[in-house]
Structures are given as C-alpha cells and as structure tokens.
Amino acid sequence: MSTENRLIVDLRTQFGKGAARRVRRAGKVPAVLYGHGSDPIHIAMPGHDAMMALKHANALLTLVINGTEQLALAKDVQRNPVKPVIEHVDLVIIRKGEKVTVDVPVHVSGDAAAETVVTVESNTLEVECEATHIPESIVIDIEGAAAGTQILASAVALPDGVALVTDGDVLVVNITAMMSQEALDAELAEGEAGVEHTAAEDAADATSDDAE
C-alpha cells in the first residue's frame, strides 16, 4: 500500500523556465500543488528526498509548507530523458479518507504451463480506492495456466477496498502456445519464398519495360 513520505518544502515566488532551472541548479525539484478548488501552490522539494519518495507510482507525500502539513498525491512526474533527475512534479491535494482514481501497475507471478508464451496486454489497471491505501501493484497469479488462457480485467482479484474502473472486458494477460521449431522454419521459408517471388516479378517488369 502507499506509504506517506514527509518532505519539508519551500514556497516559490518566481515562475517560468528560468526560475525552474535555478531551482534545479540549487538541488531542488520544482512542483505545483493544486486541487479542491484552491489556487495552485508553487513549491520546491528537496531533490534527493523527492527522488527517493517518487520511486514508485502514485506516491503519497506529506508536505510541510511553512510548518503546516498537507497530504498530496503525485499525479505527473516529469523525468529528464538523459540524467537521473526529476524535472517537475504535479501534485494533487488529498484529504484523509478521500477516494482517488489512479493507474496501478500490473505484475504477474508464477509460471504458466510448459511451452507457452505469456503476454501482458495491459501494463496498468485503473482503479478507485482511498488515497492512503493505493496498492503499489496488482499481482496476477498465472501458475500452471494453460495455453489459451485469457485473463480479463473483470477476473483480476483486487485488494479489499479497491474497485475496478477499467472496462472489465479489457484483456490483461494472454497466454498462448509457443510456436514449434517446425512452424517457425515453415514461416521463415514462406517469407523467403515470398521475397523471391516479388524479386522475380520486379525483374520481369523491368525486362518488359526495357523491351518497350
């Protein structure tokens, strides 16, 4: 379940790209806090502590702003594509007992039957639950599952207090038979034959054009 991470943050009075760069140069992360009809609050979070707190999706934070604590949920974390740093964070104000809708990662456990291929078709499921009880992941047990098994969202076991929002007909896990070596060889041979046939047709067309 979600754990609360306590961060002492600073209020920001300067905005824009230049101001954000200065915040990051100071080893902090620019962020904005909004929700419940209040005006957006621009803050700077301590860089290392924010990085540790935001390692998991749907991180729940206790922000200390001028000595006052505010519960917040990380909704959008923008990370640098090259460097291991966080560029910006969007946070939503949360009240204890409030329910939120979030995307939770899907993980599979166990081993399916021999000679099968397991494909996770949906990497996340959208669920509704209390903000203080968001599961870190939804685990689907596939131990011994045979080829042809398809696990839909409606069949996924959810923790107590968690309700499915994703359409129940969405395919989450698909287990198929592994293709035999003979079938792979046949498919490869068919592909090569098609390439040769196309090359022959192109050569014939070129000869025809030359003759004209």
> Which pLDDT score is estimated for 21?
85
CATH H superfamily, domain 4-95: Ribosomal Protein L25; Chain P (2.40.240.10)
Return the CATH number of the domain spanning residue range 101-177.
Answer: 2.170.120.20
pLDDT bracket for residue 179 (50, 70, 90): confident
Equal fold, 4-95 vs 101-177: no
> Which residues make Cβ contacts (< 8 Å) with residue 51, sequence separation at least 6?
29, 84, 85, 86
> Torsions phi, psi of 101, nearest 5?
-110, 125
Mean pLDDT of 186-190: 74
Residues 124 and 196: their CA atoms lie apart, in Å, by 43
For the chain, what are the domain ranges? Answer: 4-95, 101-177, 180-212
Q: Does the pLDDT of residue 124 top 90, yes or no?
A: yes
Q: Does the pLDDT of residue 206 top 70, yes or no?
A: no
Tell me: the pLDDT tens digits for 46-57?
A: 999 999 999 888
pLDDT bracket for residue 71 (50, 70, 90): very high
For residue 111, CA distances in Å to 120, 145, 154, 178 come to 13, 8, 21, 14
Total residue length of the chain: 212
Residues 186 and 180: their CA atoms lie apart, in Å, by 10
Q: Does the pLDDT of residue 101 top 90, yes or no?
A: yes
Residues 144 and 157: their CA atoms lie apart, in Å, by 17
Neighbours of 110 (CB within 10 A): 12
DSSP state letter for 32: E
> Which pLDDT score is estimated for 128?
96
Q: Does the pLDDT of residue 109 top 70, yes or no?
A: yes
Instruction: State the pTM of this model.
Output: 0.73
Mean pLDDT of 125-152: 94
